[in-house]
C-alpha cells in the first residue's frame, strides 16, 4: 500500500494542508501591511489547496476505477500513506499486545513489546479525498464571500488568518492516519472554532458562546481521549494503516488490511462497544448531537461566513467522518450501532421541532444543521455499506446547500444592518433577488424536493434505514435470526453476492462470509464456528437492537423530513415574501450584496441543484467510497446492495416534504412576518420548543451549579482547614514562633549576609580546589 | 580541571555556565552606583550569556553519547570537603534527567529579568543580584552529582527567593516570605535526614563513605535499604523523609498552601522562577533519589501517590475555578498541573513517566508565561482582580494573544507542548490501570485515571472563564478607567521575555520527539527498579493481572 515517493501524491497531500498554513502565517505576520488586501494569502492558498485536493480526488478516482475507466465496484482498497515526521516514540511501552490482537500469528505471543510510536502520517483514500475536496472547495467559496462580508471590520486580517488555520486543521484531521493525530486536529479545529465564535470578543454573548462551545466539546474530547487509550490498550497501536518494517514483519494498524481481512481482527464485545460509544460521545460533541448539541446555536454569535464554513459545512461533520472512518469497529458492535442511529434520530427530531419556532434566521439554520447531522448519524448507525455511503453523500450535499443557506442569511444580515430577526423584515425578494432565488434553491435542496441535491441524499439515508426497519423476508421474527446484525433480506443478499465487490485477494473469504450470512444471519466478522463470540454477542444484544427500534427511528426520520420542509419554507416565506419591510438599522443602504458575495452563492446554488442528481445517477460516491479500506472491510462490504432507486421510499419522503411546505405556505406565505402564525396552534408545546426543551437550564442545574458549589466548598476548605492546620502547627512550638518573630523584625539583612557568606564559601572553596 | 589545553571541553563549558550568573551578580553590584539602566542591562547581558552557554551546552549534550546511551555528560569533579573520611566533591554533570531543566532554568531567568525591566525600580541592584544568585542555585541543583552539593544548592534556592518575595513583593510579602521559607525549609530538613540515612547505610554496607549519587544508586541496588519488620521498614521511613521534602516543593496536595500565598505576594520575576523551575525540583528529586534508590518503598507508595496526583488535579482545578485574584488562580492551576506530573511519575509506566518528565518542561514554560503576562496586566491596570478587568484584548491585543497562547498550552491544546505531556501521562496511567495492576486495584486506578481525564475539562473551564472575563467582553473597572486609556501594548523587553517561551511551546508541541529522546534513557533507567518492584508486588497479589479484561474477546475462538 505504500507507494513510491517519486509520484506526485505525497507532495499534493502535504500541500493541501501546508498551503493554508502558509496563508495563515503570512496573514499573521503581514496582516497590518496587507490592510484591506489581507484576504489575499488566505484566498490564494485555499484556492491552490482546493486544486490539489481535486487533483487528488481525480487521481484516487482513476485508481479506483482502474485504467478502463469503468464505474464497476472497486475490486481492491485504494489507499496510500505518507509519513511526514516522527512525533512521539517511547520504546517498549506495551507488552504482549500481539497476543491480544490475535492477528500477527508469527510474533511470539508473550515476548512482543511495542513502542508507543506516533508518527505524523497522512493518508489518501476515497473517503479522505472526498472530504478534502468538500472542505477546500467550500472553504474557498466562503473565503471569497467573506471578502465582501467582512469588509471594513477591524479584525479583517485576523478573520482570514483564522479561516486559513481552520482549513489547515480540518484538512489535517481528515487526512491523518492515526487516532492520536486525529485527536490533535480534532481539538485544533475546536480551537479555531473557539476563536471564530469569539471573533467579536467585545460582545459578551460572543465571548460566552465561545467558551461554551469549547467546554461542551471538551466533554466530547474526553470521550475521544478515553477511546484512544482503549484503542491503544486493545490494539497496541493507534495507526490506521499497516506498517511493514524492514525485516518484513507487519504491525497491523487498527484499520489496516491485515486486520480487516482477519475475521477476529476487530475487537467486539464489551471493550469494542465501549470504544464505539466513546467515539460516539466525541462525535456528539463535535457534530452537535444530543445531548451535547447545546453549543451550536450559541455559536451563531460568530461571523456568518465562519458559521457557514465551520458550523454548517465542515467542522461539524468531523463526527460523521470519525464514525465512517471507524466503520469496521462499529460494525463489530451492533449494540453501539443502534445507539448511533438512535442518537441521530432523536437529535434530528428534537432539533427539527425547535427549529419550527425560531425567529432568528441563523438559529433556524443552526438547528437545521443539528437535525441534518442527526440524519447522517441515523444513516451511519445502520451499519451497512449503503448507510455509510449515504451519510457521506448527505454530508457532501449538505455542505453545499447549508453553506449556501448560511451565506444567504449572511447576505440578508449584511444588507439589514446586522439584524437577523425574521420578524423585523419581510418581502426581501424585491430588494435582493439574487439572494432570494439562491436561498430558495438551497431551501428546496434542504427540504428534499426532487430533483434538488438533498432529495437524493436523504432518499438514500431513508432507503438504508428502511432496509433496517423492514428486513424483508425476516419480517417481524427477525430477532430470532439476529436482525440486528443482518439487516438485509435474503433476496437482496442473494443479489448482492453477485454484484458486490469481490476482490481478488479476499474473494474466497468474502464468499464464505456471504454464505455464513445467508445461513445464520450473522455479521461477516463472526465465523460460523465462533461459538464463544456468538454467545457473547447474544448476551450483550440489548433490547434496543430490534426492528421496533428501527421502525421508531424510521418514523422519526420521516417526520423530521416533513419538519425540515416546514421550518425551511417558514423561514423563506417570512424573509422573502409578504410586504417589503426593512429594519431601521439597515438605513437607506438595504440592497443586494456585491458580486464578490453573490458569485459564491451562484456556484453553491448550482451545486445544490444538480450535485445530488449527478452523484446519484452516476453512482459516483457509491462506486468510489467502498474502495476506502474502512468500507472495503468484508464486514462492511458484505452488506452492499445494488444501486437502485426506491420509488416507495422516495414517494414517502417527497410527500412528507410537500406536506411541510404546504403547512408553511398556509401559515406564512405572503404574510407579515411579525404576526405569529403557527405558534398559536402549538400552545404550551410551542413554549417547550422555544425554550429548546430546557436543555441549557438542565445543564445549569445538574452540572454547572453543583460544580460551582463544590468549587466554593473546596476553596473554603483550602483556606480554613488545610491552610488553617498549617498555620496552627506553625504557631504551636514557641521556639518556631520566635524564629518567625525574629525574621519579621527586620533582620532580613542579616540573613542576606548569611546567604552571601554561603556563596562566598562555595566560591572560595571552588577557587581553592582549582589551585590544588 | 579547568584545562584549556584540551580546548573548550564540555566540563569547562559547564563550569563556566555555572559561574557566569555569579560573575554577573558581582558585576551588577559593582555597577550599582551607575543607576538602574546599567544594573538591569548588565543583568540582561549576564542572563543572555548564561542562556547562550547553557543552550550550546544542551546542544553539545544532544550530540553526545549521553543523549543516546545514558550516563553523564560534561562530568567533572573538584575536591571540595575532602578530609579524613569525608569525600564531598564539587562534582557536576548533566544527564537526560537534568539537561532540559538545566536549559529551562537559564531560559526562564532571561524571562524573569525582562519582566522585571520596568516593574522593579527600587533597590534594583539587590533584586537583579538575587535573581542571578537564584539562577546559579537552580543551575547547580540540576548539575549536581554529589548528594551534599545537591542539597546545598537545593537549600540555596530558598534564600534568594525568600528575599525576592520579602523585599520586592506585594502588601503581605513578609508573611508570604516567612511562610514559604519555613514551610519548605522544614520539609527539606527532613529530606536531608533521609539523604544522610542513605549515605550512612551505604557506607556501613559497602565500607565506602561516598556522596556520589551514581555510586550511591549502584550501592543501594546491590545493598538495598531493608524493608523488613526487624529493621523497622527502614526504607519506607527514608522514603517518607525524602517525600516530605520533595512533596512540599512540588507541591502535592495537601502540603501546597504556601504556594498560592507565595505567588500572589512575589514579584513577577520571582513567580516566573518559582513556578517555572523551583516546583520542578520536587519531581526531579523523586526521579533522582526516591525511585532509583528506594524502589520497594516507592512501589508501596505508588498507588497512594497516583491517588494524590489525581486528587490534586481535580482539587486544584476546583479551587482555581472560584478564585477572584487572577494570579492566585494561576497559582492553583500550578497545583493542578503538578498533579499530572506526580500521577504520571508514580504510574511507573514508560509512556507516563516520560510524559511526566516532559510535562515538567511544559509546565515550566506555560506557567512562567502565564505569571509573566499576569504581571504585565498588573503593571498596566494595577489590579489582578478578575472582576476589575475586562476587554484587555481590545486594548493590548499582543498581550492578549500571548496570554491566550499560554492558556491554550496550559489547558493542553494539541499542537502545543502541554498536550504532549498531558496525553502521555494520561495514556500511561490508563495503561497501568487497565493491565498493570492487581484486580483489586484496577477499578481504583481506572477511577483515578478517568478523574484525571475529567480534570482536563475542568482545567479548560477555569482558564477559559478567566480569558472570557479578563481578555474578552467590554472594558470595565480598572480597564475602563484611566489606566485603561494609557495601557500600551507590549514593549520590546516584554516581547523578549515572552517570545522565547512561545517558541518552545509551539516547538515541543509540533515536534516533541527530540525532547523526549534525549531524556528517554535516563528516565527509564531511574524508574526501572521501582517499576520492577511494583510489578513484583502486583504479581505477588492473589489475583492475577487484569489482562483478562482485554483478552476475553479475542481469545474466545
Q: Does A705 touch chain B (CB under 8 A)?
A: no
On average, the pLDDT of chain A sits at 81
Integer Cα distance of B130 and B227 in angstroms: 43
* φ, ψ of residue A639 in degrees (nearest 5): -95, 10
B349 and B255 in a single domain? The answer is no
Integer Cα distance of B196 and B209 in angstroms: 11
On average, the pLDDT of chain B sits at 88
B244 and B393 in a single domain? The answer is no
Query: Do residues B169 and B265 lie in contact, with contact meaning Cβ atoms separated by under 8 Å?
Result: yes
Name the residue among B256, B318, B552 with its Cβ closest to that of A714.
B318
Name the residue among A93, A191, A230 with its Cβ closest to that of B408.
A191
Of A278, A322, A387, the residue nearest A174 (C-alpha):
A322
B244 and B97 in a single domain? The answer is yes
Residues of A in contact with B460 (CB under 8 A): 214-215, 218
Q: Does B426 touch chain A (CB under 8 A)?
A: yes
Residue A494 has pLDDT above 70, yes or no: no
pLDDT at A746: 47
B326 and B278 in a single domain? The answer is no
Of A334, A325, A377, the residue nearest A633 (C-alpha):
A325
pLDDT at B549: 41
Q: Which of A118, A120, A218, A720 to mutate to test the interface with B (most CBs of B within 10 A)?
A: A218
Q: Which three cell numbers stand for residue B92?
A: 557536576
Residue A524 has pLDDT above 70, yes or no: no
Range of the domain at B178: 7-293
| ipTM (interface predicted TM) | 0.89
Name the residue among B323, B453, B554 with its Cβ closest to that of A222.
B453
Residue A80 has pLDDT above 70, yes or no: yes
In a domain, residue B286? The reply is yes
Q: Which three cell numbers stand for residue A736?
A: 518556631
In a domain, residue B152? The reply is yes
Structural domains of chain B, count? 2
B62 and B195 in a single domain? The answer is yes
B36 and B104 in a single domain? The answer is yes
Verify whether the Cβ–Cβ distance A215 to B460 is below 8 Å: yes
| B369 min Cα distance to partner chain A (Å) | 19
B260 and B334 in a single domain? The answer is no
Residue A271 has pLDDT above 80, yes or no: yes
B265 and B328 in a single domain? The answer is no
Q: What is the mean pLDDT of residues B375-392?
A: 90
Q: Does A736 touch chain B (CB under 8 A)?
A: yes
Name the residue among B78, B126, B453 with its Cβ closest to that of A225.
B453
Query: Do residues A282 and A227 lie in contact, with contact meaning Cβ atoms separated by under 8 Å?
Result: yes
Predicted TM-score (pTM) above 0.80: yes
Residues of B in contact with A740 (CB under 8 A): 178, 182
Residue A103 pLDDT level (bands cut at 50, 70, 90) = very low
Integer Cα distance of B89 and B76 in angstroms: 10
Q: Does A202 touch chain B (CB under 8 A)?
A: yes
Residue B3 has pLDDT above 80, yes or no: no
Residue B37 has pLDDT above 80, yes or no: yes
Chain A nearest-CA residue for B358: A88
Q: Does A93 touch chain B (CB under 8 A)?
A: yes
In a domain, residue B552? The reply is no
In a domain, residue B306? The reply is no
Residue A111 has pLDDT above 70, yes or no: no
Q: Which three cell numbers stand for residue B556?
A: 474466545
Name the residue among A183, A214, A772 with its Cβ closest to that of B460.
A214
Chain B nearest-CA residue for A269: B553
Q: What is the mean pLDDT of residues A460-475?
A: 77
In a domain, residue B255? The reply is yes
Q: Does B486 touch chain A (CB under 8 A)?
A: no
Integer Cα distance of A468 and A242 in angstroms: 33
Q: What is the pLDDT of residues A11-35, one digit of tens each?
A: 899 999 999 999 999 998 887 788 8
Verify whether the Cβ–Cβ distance A748 to B321 is below 8 Å: no
Q: What is the pLDDT of residues A202-241, one digit of tens each?
A: 889 999 999 999 999 999 999 999 999 999 888 888 888 8
Residues of A in contact with B79 (CB under 8 A): 769, 772
Buried b (16+ CB within 10 A) or exposed e, A100-135: bbbbbeebeeeebebbbbbbbbbbbbbbbbbbbbbb
In a domain, residue B532? The reply is yes
Q: Does A703 touch chain B (CB under 8 A)?
A: no
- Cα angle vertex A772, ends A770, B1, to 5°? 45
Of B293, B325, B345, the last residue of a domain is B293
Question: Helix (H, G, I), strand (E, B), or coil: what is residue A524?
Answer: coil
* φ, ψ of residue A545 in degrees (nearest 5): -85, 70
pLDDT at A745: 47
Identity of the highest mean pLDDT range in A624-628, A694-698, B359-363: B359-363
| A439 min Cα distance to partner chain B (Å) | 34
Residue whose C-alpha cell is 441534518? A372
Verify whether the Cβ–Cβ distance A269 to B90 is below 8 Å: no
In a domain, residue B276? The reply is yes
B221 and B288 in a single domain? The answer is yes
pLDDT at B48: 95
Maximum pairwise Cα distance, chain B: 84
Integer Cα distance of B341 and B493 in angstroms: 32
Query: Do residues A522 and A485 lie in contact, with contact meaning Cβ atoms separated by under 8 Å?
Result: yes
Of B293, B324, B351, the last residue of a domain is B293
B240 and B138 in a single domain? The answer is yes
Residue ranges of B 266-285 with Cβ closer than 8 A to chain A: none
B185 and B333 in a single domain? The answer is no
Verify whether the Cβ–Cβ distance B323 to A268 is below 8 Å: no
Q: Does A712 touch chain B (CB under 8 A)?
A: yes
Q: Does A730 touch chain B (CB under 8 A)?
A: yes
Chain B nearest-CA residue for A274: B550
Q: What is the pLDDT of residues B181-206, one digit of tens each?
A: 888 888 888 888 889 889 888 888 88
B41 and B143 in a single domain? The answer is yes
Q: Which of A201, A274, A761 to mutate to test the interface with B (most CBs of B within 10 A)?
A: A201
Of B240, B262, B293, the last residue of a domain is B293
Residues of B in contact with A718 (CB under 8 A): 257, 315, 319
DSSP β-bridge partners for residue B78: B90
The end-to-end CA distance of chain A, in Å, is 67
Name the residue among A186, A206, A710 with its Cβ closest to that of B318.
A710
Q: Which three cell numbers stand for residue A578?
A: 409578504
* 3-state SS record for B107-158: HHHHHHHHHCCCCCCCCHHHHHHHHHHHHHHHHHHHHECEHHHHHHHHHHCH
Integer Cα distance of B339 and B315 in angstroms: 9
Name the residue among B81, B454, B513 with its Cβ closest to that of A222.
B454
Q: Does B451 touch chain A (CB under 8 A)?
A: no
Verify whether the Cβ–Cβ distance A233 to B430 is below 8 Å: yes
In a domain, residue B302? The reply is no
Amino acid at each position: 500500500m505504500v507507494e513510491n515517493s517519486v509520484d506526485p501524491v505525497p507532495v499534493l497531500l502535504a500541500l493541501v494542508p501546508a498551503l493554508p498554513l502558509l496563508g495563515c502565517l503570512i496573514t499573521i505576520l503581514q496582516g497590518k501591511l496587507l490592510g484591506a488586501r489581507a484576504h489575499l494569502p488566505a484566498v490564494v492558498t485555499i484556492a491552490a489547496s482546493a486544486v490539489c485536493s481535486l487533483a487528488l480526488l481525480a487521481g484516487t478516482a482513476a485508481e479506483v476505477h482502474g485504467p478502463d475507466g469503468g464505474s464497476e465496484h472497486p475490486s481492491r482498497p485504494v489507499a496510500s500513506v505518507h509519513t511526514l515526521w516522527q512525533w512521539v516514540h517511547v520504546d517498549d511501552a506495551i507488552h504482549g499486545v500481539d497476543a491480544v490482537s490475535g492477528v500477527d500469528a508469527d510474533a511470539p505471543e508473550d515476548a512482543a513489546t511495542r513502542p508507543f510510536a506516533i508518527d505524523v502520517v497522512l493518508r489518501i483514500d476515497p473517503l479522505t479525498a472526498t472530504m478534502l475536496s468538500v472542505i477546500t472547495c467550500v472553504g474557498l467559496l466562503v473565503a471569497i464571500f467573506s471578502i465582501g462580508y467582512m469588509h471594513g471590520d477591524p479584525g479583517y486580517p485576523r478573520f482570514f488568518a483564522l479561516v486559513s488555520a481552520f482549513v489547515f486543521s480540518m484538512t489535517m484531521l481528515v487526512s491523518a492516519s492515526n487516532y492520536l493525530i486525529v485527536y490533535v486536529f480534532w481539538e485544533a479545529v475546536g480551537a479555531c472554532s473557539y476563536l471564530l465564535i469569539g471573533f467579536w470578543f467585545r460582545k459578551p454573548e460572543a465571548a460566552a458562546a465561545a467558551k461554551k462551545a469549547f467546554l461542551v466539546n471538551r466533554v466530547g474530547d474526553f470521550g475521544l481521549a478515553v477511546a484512544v487509550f482503549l484503542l491503544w490498550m486493545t490494539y497496541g497501536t493507534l495507526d490506521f494503516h499497516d506498517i511493514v518494517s524492514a525485516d518484513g514483519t507487519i504491525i497491523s494498524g487498527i484499520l489496516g488490511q491485515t486486520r480487516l481481512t482477519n475475521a477476529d481482527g476487530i475487537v467486539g464485545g464489551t471493550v469494542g462497544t465501549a470504544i464505539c460509544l466513546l467515539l460516539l460521545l466525541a462525535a456528539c460533541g463535535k457534530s452537535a448531537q444530543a445531548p451535547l448539541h447545546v453549543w451550536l446555536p450559541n455559536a451563531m454569535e460568530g461571523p456568518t461566513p465562519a458559521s457557514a464554513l465551520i458550523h454548517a459545512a465542515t467542522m461539524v461533520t468531523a463526527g460523521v467522518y470519525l464514525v465512517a472512518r471507524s466503520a469496521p469497529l462499529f460494525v463489530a458492535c451492533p449494540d453501539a450501532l443502534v445507539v448511533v442511529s438512535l442518537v441521530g434520530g432523536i437529535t434530528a427530531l428534537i432539533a427539527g421541532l425547535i427549529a419550527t419556532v425560531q425567529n432568528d434566521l441563523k438559529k433556524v439554520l443552526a438547528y437545521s444543521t443539528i437535525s441534518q447531522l442527526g440524519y447522517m448519524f441515523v444513516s451511519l448507525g445502520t451499519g451497512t455499506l449503503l448507510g455509510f455511503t449515504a451519510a457521506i453523500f448527505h454530508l457532501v450535499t449538505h455542505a453545499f446547500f447549508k453553506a449556501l443557506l448560511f451565506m444567504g442569511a449572511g447576505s440578508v444580515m449584511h444588507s439589514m444592518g446586522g439584524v437577523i430577526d425574521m420578524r423585523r423584515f419581510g418581502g426581501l425578494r424585491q430588494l435582493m433577488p439574487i439572494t432570494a432565488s439562491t436561498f430558495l434553491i438551497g431551501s428546496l435542496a434542504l427540504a428534499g424536493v426532487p430533483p434538488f441535491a438533498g432529495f437524493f441524499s436523504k432518499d438514500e439515508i431513508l432507503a438504508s434505514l428502511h432496509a433496517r426497519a423492514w428486513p424483508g423476508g425476516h419480517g417481524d421474527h427477525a430477532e430470532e435470526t439476529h436482525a440486528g446484525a443482518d439487516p438485509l433480506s435474503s433476496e437482496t443478499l442473494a443479489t448482492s453476492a453477485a454484484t458486490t465487490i469481490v476482490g481478488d485477494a479476499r474473494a474466497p473469504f468474502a464468499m464464505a462470509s456471504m454464505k455464513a450470512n445467508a445461513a445464520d444471519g450473522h455479521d461477516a466478522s463472526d465465523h460460523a464456528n465462533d461459538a464463544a463470540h456468538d454467545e457473547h454477542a447474544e448476551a450483550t444484544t440489548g433490547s434496543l437492537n430490534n426492528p421496533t427500534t428501527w421502525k421508531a427511528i424510521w418514523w422519526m426520520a420521516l417526520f423530521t423530513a416533513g419538519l425540515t420542509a416546514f421550518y425551511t419554507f417558514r423561514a423563506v416565506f417570512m424573509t422573502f415574501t409578504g410586504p417589503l419591510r426593512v429594519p431601521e438599522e439597515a438605513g437607506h443602504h438595504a440592497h443586494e450584496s456585491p458580486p464578490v458575495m453573490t458569485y459564491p452563492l451562484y456556484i453553491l446554488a448550482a451545486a445544490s441543484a444538480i450535485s445530488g442528481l449527478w452523484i446519484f445517477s452516476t453512482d459516483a460516491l457509491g462506486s468510489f467510497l467502498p474502495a476506502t479500506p474502512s468500507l472495503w472491510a468484508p464486514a462492511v462490504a458484505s452488506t452492499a446492495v445494488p444501486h437502485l432507486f426506491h420509488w416507495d421510499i422516495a414517494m414517502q419522503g417527497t410527500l412528507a416534504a410537500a406536506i411541510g411546505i404546504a403547512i408553511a405556505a398556509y401559515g406564512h406565505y405572503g404574510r407579515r412576518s411579525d404576526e405569529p402564525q403557527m405558534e398559536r396552534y402549538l400552545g404550551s408545546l410551542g413554549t417547550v420548543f422555544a425554550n429548546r426543551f430546557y436543555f441549557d437550564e438542565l445543564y445549569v442545574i445538574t452540572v454547572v451549579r453543583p460544580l460551582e458549589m463544590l468549587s466554593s466548598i473546596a476553596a473554603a476548605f483550602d483556606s480554613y482547614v488545610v491552610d488553617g492546620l498549617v498555620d496552627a502547627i506553625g504557631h504551636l512550638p514557641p521556639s518556631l514562633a520566635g524564629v518567625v518573630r525574629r525574621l519579621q523584625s527586620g533582620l532580613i539583612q542579616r540573613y542576606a549576609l548569611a546567604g552571601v557568606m554561603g556563596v562566598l564559601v562555595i566560591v572560595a572553596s571552588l577557587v581553592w580546589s582549582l589551585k590544588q | 580541571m579547568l584545562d584549556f589545553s584540551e580546548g573548550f571541553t564540555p566540563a569547562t563549558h559547564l563550569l563556566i555556565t555555572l559561574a557566569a550568573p555569579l560573575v554577573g551578580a558581582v558585576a551588577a553590584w559593582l555597577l550599582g552606583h551607575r543607576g538602574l539602566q546599567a544594573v538591569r542591562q548588565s543583568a540582561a547581558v549576564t542572563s543572555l550569556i548564561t542562556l547562550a552557554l547553557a543552550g550550546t551546552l544542551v546542544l553539545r549534550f544532544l550530540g553526545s553519547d549521553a543523549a543516546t546511551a545514558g550516563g553523564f555528560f560534561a562530568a567533572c569533579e573538584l575536591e571540595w570537603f575532602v578530609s579524613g573520611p569525608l569525600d564531598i566533591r564539587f562534582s557536576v554533570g548533566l544527564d537526560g534527567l537534568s539537561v532540559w531543566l538545566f536549559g529551562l532554568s537559564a531560559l526562564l531567568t532571561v524571562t524573569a529579568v525582562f519582566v522585571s525591566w520596568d516593574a522593579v525600580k527600587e533597590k534594583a541592584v539587590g533584586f537583579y543580584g538575587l535573581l542571578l544568585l537564584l539562577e546559579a542555585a537552580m543551575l547547580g541543583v540540576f548539575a549536581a552529582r554529589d548528594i551534599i552539593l545537591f542539597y546545598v544548592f537545593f537549600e540555596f534556592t530558598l534564600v534568594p527567593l525568600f528575599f525576592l518575595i520579602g523585599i520586592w513583593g506585594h502588601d503581605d510579602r513578609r508573611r508570604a516570605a516567612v511562610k514559604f521559607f519555613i514551610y519548605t525549609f522544614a520539609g527539606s530538613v527532613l529530606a536531608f535526614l533521609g539523604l544522610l540515612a542513605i549515605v550512612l547505610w551505604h557506607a556501613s554496607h559497602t565500607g565506602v563513605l561516598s556522596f556520589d549519587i551514581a555510586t550511591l544508586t549502584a550501592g543501594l541496588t546491590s545493598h538495598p535499604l531493608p524493608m523488613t519488620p526487624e529493621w523497622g521498614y527502614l526504607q519506607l521511613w527514608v522514603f517518607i523523609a525524602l517525600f516530605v521534602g520533595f512533596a512540599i516543593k512540588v507541591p502535592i496536595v495537601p502540603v501546597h498552601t504556601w504556594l498560592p500565598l507565595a505567588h500572589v505576594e512575589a514579584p513577577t520575576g520571582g513567580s516566573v522562577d518559582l513556578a517555572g523551575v523551583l516546583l520542578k525540583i520536587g519531581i526531579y528529586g523523586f526521579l533522582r533519589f526516591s525511585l532509583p534508590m528506594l524502589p520497594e518503598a516507592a512501589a508501596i507508595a505508588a498507588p497512594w501517590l497516583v491517588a494524590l496526583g489525581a486528587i490534586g488535579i481535580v482539587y486544584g482545578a476546583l479551587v482555581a475555578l472560584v478564585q477572584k485574584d487572577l494570579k492566585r488562580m494561576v497559582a492553583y492551576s500550578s497545583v493542578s498541573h503538578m498533579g499530572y506530573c506526580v500521577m504520571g511519575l508514580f504510574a511507573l509506566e514508560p509512556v507516563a513517566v516520560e510524559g511526566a518528565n516532559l510535562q515538567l518542561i511544559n509546565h515550566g514554560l506555560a506557567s512562567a508565561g502565564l505569571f509573566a503576562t499576569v504581571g504585565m496586566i498588573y503593571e498596566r491596570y494595577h489590579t489582578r482582580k478578575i472582576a476589575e478587568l475586562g476587554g484587555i484584548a481590545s486594548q493590548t491585543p499582543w498581550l492578549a494573544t500571548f496570554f491566550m497562547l499560554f492558556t491554550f498550552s496550559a489547558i493542553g491544546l494539541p499542537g502545543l507542548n502541554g498536550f504532549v505531556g498531558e496525553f502521555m501521562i494520561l495514556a500511561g496511567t490508563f495503561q497501568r490501570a487497565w493491565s498493570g495492576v492487581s484486580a483489586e486495584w484496577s477499578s481504583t486506578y481506572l477511577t483515578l485515571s478517568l478523574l484525571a481525564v475529567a480534570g482536563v475539562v475542568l482545567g479548560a473551564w477555569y482558564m477559559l472563564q478567566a480569558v472570557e472575563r479578563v481578555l474578552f467582553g467590554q472594558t470595565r473597572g480598572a480597564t475602563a478607567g484611566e489606566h485603561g486609556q494609557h495601557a500600551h501594548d507590549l514593549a520590546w523587553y516584554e516581547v523578549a521575555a515572552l517570545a522565547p517561551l512561545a517558541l518552545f511551546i509551539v516547538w515541543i508541541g509540533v515536534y516533541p520527539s527530540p525532547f523526549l529522546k534525549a531524556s528517554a534513557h535516563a528516565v527509564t533507567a531511574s524508574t526501572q527498579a521501582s517499576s520492577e518492584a511494583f510489578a513484583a508486588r502486583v504479581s505477588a497479589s492473589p489475583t492475577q493481572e487484569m489482562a483478562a479484561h482485554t483478552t476475553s474477546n479475542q481469545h474466545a475462538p
